[in-house]
Amino acid sequence: MDFEPKILGIACNWCTYTGADLAGTTRLKYPQNIRVVRVMCSSRINPSFIFRAFQLGADGVLVGGCHPGDCHYGTGNMYARRRLAITKKMLEFAGIEPGRFRVEWISASEGNRFAEVVGEFTGQVKGLGPQTKLKIKTD
């Protein structure tokens, strides 16, 4: 059987989540591998969420927020950008494939973009194979 990756999507309420909603209401097809969690702002994301997701079996993590400058709260995603940039560098230095983690700015009107990114990212993670390094071994 083909490997179907488990992808955690963390989406900001005002842009990416609404964008995902739009993708749904316009009947766009995108892979079912993503499980979306809604947060109020991308700056709500504690990088430990990402490490924890990998530990609990995620093969990839996709974070979505408003375009910089369009944050509902003014500057939230500017802080998030710095934090997530560091998180990415950390994963890389720890030896986790950085391709398993991606940050995208998707606005509420970009339903197509959401579907496109999810498709692309799922393909990428599929290529990398199952994530076994951080995953907690239960046996």
Partner 1 sequence: MTAFKDIEERLKEKAKDLLEKGEVECVFAYGRGYDERHPRPYVAKTKEDAENLVFNEYCTFNLARYAVKEPRKKIAVAAKGADSRALVQLIQEGKLKRENLVILGIPAAGMVDAKSGLTLDEKTTGAFANPVVYDVLLGDKLPEAKNSPYEVLGELEGLSGDGRWEFWRKEFARCLRCFACRKACPMCYCDPCFMDQSRPRWADKSPTLDGNTMYHLTRFYHLAGRCVDCGECTRACPVDIPLYLFHKRLAKDCEEMFNQAAGMKLEDKPVLVDFRVEDGDEILL
CB of 24 to partner 1, least distance (A): 26
Burial 89-111 (b: 16+ CB within 10 A, else e): eebeeeebbeebbbbbbbbbebb
Tokens of residue 123, six digits: 């393909």
Q: Choose among 42, 9, 14: nearest CA to 109.
A: 14
CB of 26 to partner 1, least distance (A): 26
CB of 114 to partner 1, least distance (A): 17
CB atoms within 10 A of CB 48: 10
Residue placing its CB nearer to partner 1 in the complex, 101 or 114: 101
Return residues touching partner 1 (CB under 8 A).
47-48, 51-52, 55, 68-69, 75, 78-79, 81-90, 92-97, 103, 105, 133-134, 136-137
CB of 69 to partner 1, least distance (A): 7
Residue placing its CB nearer to partner 1 in the complex, 40 or 86: 86
3-state helix, strand, coil in the chain (%, to 5): 45, 15, 40
Residue placing its CB nearer to partner 1 in the complex, 6 or 21: 6
User: Between vectors from CA 72 to CA 68 and to CA 75, what angle results, nearest 5°?
Assistant: 50
Residue placing its CB nearer to partner 1 in the complex, 49 or 119: 49
